Each structure stands twice: as C-alpha cells, then as structure tokens.
Chain A
C-alpha cells in the first residue's frame, strides 16, 4: 500500500480540512447555514435597494438632481413628503382621478369574478351533465389562448357598442368568468365532502340553495385567492386601458404612470418616483395581509397566473 505523500502541501491541506469537517459535522452545517444567510441577505438587498432609491428620489425637491454619484440609497438630506400629496392634486397630475378609476375597475372585476366564476365552478365541481367533459377541455384550452390576440375584434365590438372611452370594456368581460379562476375554484370545491350536498338534498334544498348556503360559504378561501389575483391583474394591467381609454378622465393608475414616465423630464423625476411609489402601495399591502392565503392558494392548485 502506497503511503500518502505528505510533502505535497496542496494535498495535505485539503486532506486536513476534509478530515476536520468529517469529524465536526455540526461545524459543517454551520458553514452551510452562514453561506445561505449571506446569499439571502444579498438577494434581499438586490430587491430592497431599488425600492429604497425610489423613495429617496421621491423625497427630493424639484430641480434637485435625483441621480447622485455615488448613488444615494437611503434618504438623508431631503424629506419633501409633500411630493406625495402633489402627485394627487398637482397640475397635470390627476392621480386622484386615476386611483378612483383603478378602484372602480378592480372592484367591478372582483365582483364579476366572484359571482360568475363561483357559479360556473359549482356546475363543474358538483353537478352531472352531458357535455361536462368536452366543456371542461374548452375551459382549459381557453386558459391558454392569449387574449391579446383577440384585442382587435374585441375593440371593434366595444367600439360599436359605444363603450370606447369608458371603463365598461375593462369590467364587463369579468362577468363572463375567467377560465383560470373557474378552474381554481372548481379544484377547491371538489375537496368539499359530497355528503354535505346529499344531506342538503334530503332536507329538500334545491341546487341553488346548495350553492348559495353550503358550497359558496365553504369556498371563501378559494374566492379570496381569486379576488386577490383579480385585484393584482387589473390594478397592474396596461394594455387593456391603453386600448379602450382615450382621455385623462378615464385613465387608470398604470396608464397614467406610463404616460407620466414618457413625458416627465428630469425636472419632474421626483414626482414620477413619488407616483410610482404610491402605485405599488396597494399591491404590497394586499400581499402582506393576504400572503398566507395567497401562497396557500397557489400551493393548493399548483398554479399561478
């Protein structure tokens, strides 16, 4: 058996290190944990620093350069909180109007989604009917068709109906149900025990009452997830408002911001950043408060929009 050549320093150092870790597994675990923490902190900074910079820039006075060398990550000198108020009622900055419009669109979509998707999901989850298999396939396929491909005929239809330049085209389609939400609620409803329906039938309840009194109240977790998604998608949507709206009075926050970004020069950069920061507050609040439900909802179906 050949002896290990201890004169090679490279080999022996590696050898010693490995022997140490084998002898002290807890130490090895500790190093692993420290590496993981270091990575997580670095990634968190990668997420948070841009947001911090946005606040820093938003708090600066007009004409003060928002860009500094080196970059100022956290507000130190300037604290012009009134910039946030100016976004709402400054000249040419009708963000109050935009916010109201966004809220109308979001509320309408949540209402439409919860009503229609729960009805349709109930039929797919609890009722037996001819054609349920093929119709379910249609549902799945329609989930995969990009709606943007249909924007021209939809635009034409709404234009002919006289809805161009109103919020209706952004709200009404949700009352026809959204395939993804129907699917999500249906998956949830299938987990509710069938004995409940049968007991209700024995008690003489009709289908509508089974839906309204039993299945719907039990489905609130799934409905909440759908409502949150409906909120996020519609609050964030740009293309829909871009196609159907044509004046400042109807614009939503997303399109208002996109316009401001294209015309705001350096002079108004602070206001652009203030508006941008305000626009992300609602989604972040919703996310923080409903985080557990939202992630649980995604986990329960293994799907995301």
Chain B
C-alpha cells in the first residue's frame, strides 16, 4: 500500500443512529482520548500560545508585554534573520535536487537482480540510522582542511589548494550537502519499496511493444514512481529547512565562520534559548510554520499535474 491508497473513513449520515452506534461512538472517543488530549496540550495550546507570544517582548527575566507587530517589524532589519533565511535556502536549493536524483539513482542500482545485493543494501542504508551528531563528528574530522582525509585525497589527485570546507564561508554549506549525501541511502529505501511495488505485467506489456530500456524507464518506472517522488520531495524539503543537529555540532551556537552555518532553526534556538528573546523567537517560529505550510500547499497544488495515481481515487 502506498500514498495512493490512503482511504479516508467513510462519513455516515446522522440519521437513524441506534443505541449500538452510540455505544460505538462513545468507545471510539475513549480510544481517541490520549491523542485528543495530546493534541490539545502539545499542539493546539502551543500553536495559539506562540502566536500570542510573538506579539510580546517576553524574555525570561520579564513577563510578556504586548508590543503589537514590533517583532515582525524588527525582522526586516535583522541581519541574523536574513542571513539564516539565506543560508537555509542555499542549502535547500543545493541539497534537495541532488538528494532526490542521487537517492533515485541508487535505488535503481539496488533494484538490480544480482548476487550479494542484500549485503550492498545493508551497507548503504547504515548511515540513515545514525544520528546527525555522530555523522557530524565523523565528518568534522574527515573534512579537516589541513590533515583530514578528504583533502589528503584531493591533494593526492593533484588539487593543490583544496577547499577549507567548514572553515570557509563559501564551502561551509556545500560541506553539509556533501555530508548529507553520505546518508542518501535513507531515501533510496523508499524508492526501492516503490520500485518493487510496480507490477511486473506493465514491464511485460511494454516489452511486447518492443520498448528498450530507456522507454521502459520513461513510460513505466517513472510514472509509477511519481507518488513516491511526491512523498520524498515533501519530506526532503521539510527536512532541509529543519536542519539543526549536524549544523549545531559543526558550526556551534554562533552558526559557523561568519554565520555561514546559521540555519533558520539555529538562529531561532539562539535567539530564544541563549539570548532569551522568547517573544522575538516566537515570531521567528510563526514565520517558519507559515513558510512550511506554503511549501506543502504549493507542492500539493502542483502535484495533480505530475503525480500519477493508478487507481485515481482515495488520495490525499
């Protein structure tokens, strides 16, 4: 089952509901109660609270005062904020297309029927279960500009002045993109699941029509995989704008050399929890939610044009 078959519960008319139905409904809400309470306490409450707080000057020392839209006004001249948006966008634009293509390519390779494939799959998926912290610490040393393995390798290849990676404002974001590429097996698992769900008859049918391997890919594999692509696009975009752990370990609280690793959430965390500007940070958080919502909606709005659902119904 995949995204295509997420069926919604059928709505029933409220007419002629007997005692049994009432009992069923009461039971249902009892079963739902942990989630309903959690939703209220951990989601609705905080959403409303952060909206209200974003109009206050609350810091940990003083109680909140209403200051209207001043936080949102300050944003427009806040260099840290605009830099964090810039760094995050730069990372997203570089990372997301690269990871989508690389993950897809890798899954095609791992979908081949060859001996020992399980071993390769196991190895290539390993980085995706590791923590951002562990991966960052590992790559921090490999990317050491003077004595790290990566530059040693590049110098051996004849590159006289390889990049300074995390120490260089230009190369800091590409370094993170490279580190993320190490874990691209994670999205390959999802593509692989999608590839293995494609019915074999489709390939047989197109082979009868005399299609070559490119045509098989173009007219069967690609369209059948568009729901998976939609899902991966959505999660990798959300994941990219939420990047925190790796950047925190590699760039520290200040967001790297000259703020070159000041990602949106690093900035939010710093404003809120080290500067104590919780009202201002709430405004940042709200902008973040709105941006995430806009991205999600934009993708769903355009998805009808390029996502192919075989059964054509019951989709989100």
Give the interface of A toward B (CB within 8 A): 33, 36-37, 39-40, 43-44, 46-51, 53-54, 57, 65-67, 69-71, 115-116, 119-120, 122-124, 127-130, 132-133, 135-140, 142, 144-146, 148-157, 173, 175-177, 182, 187, 190-191, 206-208, 211, 232, 235-239, 242-243, 254, 257-258, 261-262, 269, 272-273, 276, 279-280, 283-284, 286-288, 291, 295, 298-304
Beyond A153-B50, A272-B137, 5 additional contacts (C-beta under 8 Å) are: A51-B138, A144-B292, A148-B265, A152-B53, A176-B39
B132 located at the interface, meaning its Cβ lies under 8 Å from any Cβ of chain A in the complex: yes
B108-141 Cβ-contact flags toward A at 8 Å (1 or 0):
0110101000001011111101111110111111
CB–CB B6/A71 < 8 A:
no
Give the total number of A-B pairs whose CB atoms are below 8 A apart: 287
Q: Give min CB distance, A297 to chain B, whole Å.
A: 10
Q: How far is the CB of A29 from chain B (nearest CB, A)?
A: 11
In the complex, are the beta carbons of B12 and A128 less than 8 A apart? yes
B255 to chain A, nearest CB (A): 14
Q: By the criterion CB–CB under 8 Å, are B109 and A176 in contact?
A: no
List of B residues within 8 angstroms of A303 by Cβ: 3, 190, 231
Pairwise interchain contact B272-A145, C-beta atoms closer than 8 A = no
**Contact sample, A vs B, 27 pairs, CB 8 Å cutoff:** A44-B124, A50-B142, A50-B149, A53-B142, A127-B25, A128-B24, A128-B25, A132-B28, A133-B11, A145-B43, A145-B47, A146-B241, A148-B244, A176-B39, A176-B42, A238-B133, A239-B244, A239-B265, A258-B133, A261-B137, A273-B141, A279-B133, A280-B134, A287-B129, A291-B125, A299-B196, A303-B3
- Chain B residues contacting A283 (CB-CB under 8 Å) are 129-131
A162 to B183, CA, bound (A): 38
In the bound complex, do residue B242 and residue A37 qualify as a contact, i.e. CB atoms below 8 Å apart?
A: no
CB pair A302 B292 closer than 8 Å: no
B241: nearest chain-A partner, CB-CB: A146
Bound CA–CA A251/B193 (angstroms): 37
Closest to A134 in B: B11
B242 contacts A148, CB within 8 Å?
yes
Q: Which of chain B's residues have a CB closer than 8 A to the CB of A206?
A: 27
How would residues 11 to 46 of chain B score, 1 for a CB under 8 Å from any chain A CB and 0 otherwise? 110100000010011011101101101110111011
Return chain A residues, CB-CB under 8 Å to B182: 46-47, 50
Q: Which residues on A sit within 8 Å (CB–CB) of B189? A: 295, 298, 304
Contact A36 B112, CB 8 Å, known A138-B39, A187-B6: yes
Determine which of A37, A119, A128, A177 lies in contact with B21 in the assembled complex, contact meaning CB atoms within 8 Å.
A128
**Stretch of B81-89, B163-171, B280-288, B301-309 at the chain-chain interface:** B280-288
Pair B31/A127 contact, Cβ less than 8 Å: yes
Q: Is B2 an interface residue (CB 8 A)?
A: yes
Residue on A nearest B228 in the bound complex, by CB: A302
CB contact under 8 A between A150 and B285, given known A47-B127, A116-B38, A130-B14: yes
Which listed residue, B35, B37, B47, B190, touches A182 by the CB 8 Å rule?
B35
User: Assuming the A-B contacts A124-B9, A236-B131, are A149 and B138 also in contact, with contact meaning beta carbons closer than 8 angstroms in the complex?
Assistant: no
In the bound assembly, the distance between CA atoms of A232 and B189 in angstroms comes to: 16
